[in-house]
């Protein structure tokens, strides 16, 4: 994947949210920590369609995790609208990514350079860079 220099990379799962920046070239990313936003997962409108009793009973869906994904999307929306983000790559586990997409603002969508549906939270930076380069 081509990741523009100075692009933001949002790494999200149901509990973690990290924003990094690419200081490398488009085909050889070098990521550095930009910030680790503190999100209050308060968007419980997230995942309403996932509230069926069977899913809750079997632990397939955690509303707090979906709310965290929605809150991460809202944070990215605010930064995009404010013009603080020009290029963004979103990396999230498939369930979180699906929930985030439901909350993308058009300004965020304009700035998306890509999405990777994979759990990479807590992975070493070198592995994240490799996944981006190989995508």
pLDDT tens readout for residues 31-70: 998 888 877 644 545 444 444 454 455 455 577 788 889 9
Structural domains in the chain, CATH included, are: 8-134 (3.30.420)
Question: What is the value of pTM for the model shown?
Answer: 0.85
3-class SS of residue 107: helix
* 5 DSSP 8-state letter: T
Whether 79 and 112 have beta carbons less than 8 Å apart is answered as no
3-class SS of residue 57: helix
pLDDT tens readout for residues 77-111: 999 999 999 999 999 999 999 999 999 999 999 99
Whether 47 and 97 have beta carbons less than 8 Å apart is answered as no
């Amino acid at each position: 994947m081509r990741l523009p220099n100075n692009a933001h990379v949002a790494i999200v799962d149901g509990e973690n949210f990290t924003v990094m920046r690419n200081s490398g070239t488009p085909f050889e990313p070098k990521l550095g920590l930009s910030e680790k936003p503190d999100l209050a997962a308060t968007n419980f409108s997230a995942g309403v369609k996932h509230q069926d009793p069977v899913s809750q009973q079997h632990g397939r869906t955690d509303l707090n995790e979906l709310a965290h994904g929605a809150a991460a999307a809202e944070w990215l929306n605010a930064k995009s609208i404010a013009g603080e983000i020009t290029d963004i790559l979103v990396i999230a586990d498939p369930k979180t990514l699906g929930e985030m997409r439901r909350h993308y603002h058009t300004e965020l969508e304009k700035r998306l350079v890509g999405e990777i549906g994979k759990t990479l939270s807590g992975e070493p930076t070198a592995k994240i860079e490799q996944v981006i380069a190989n995508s």
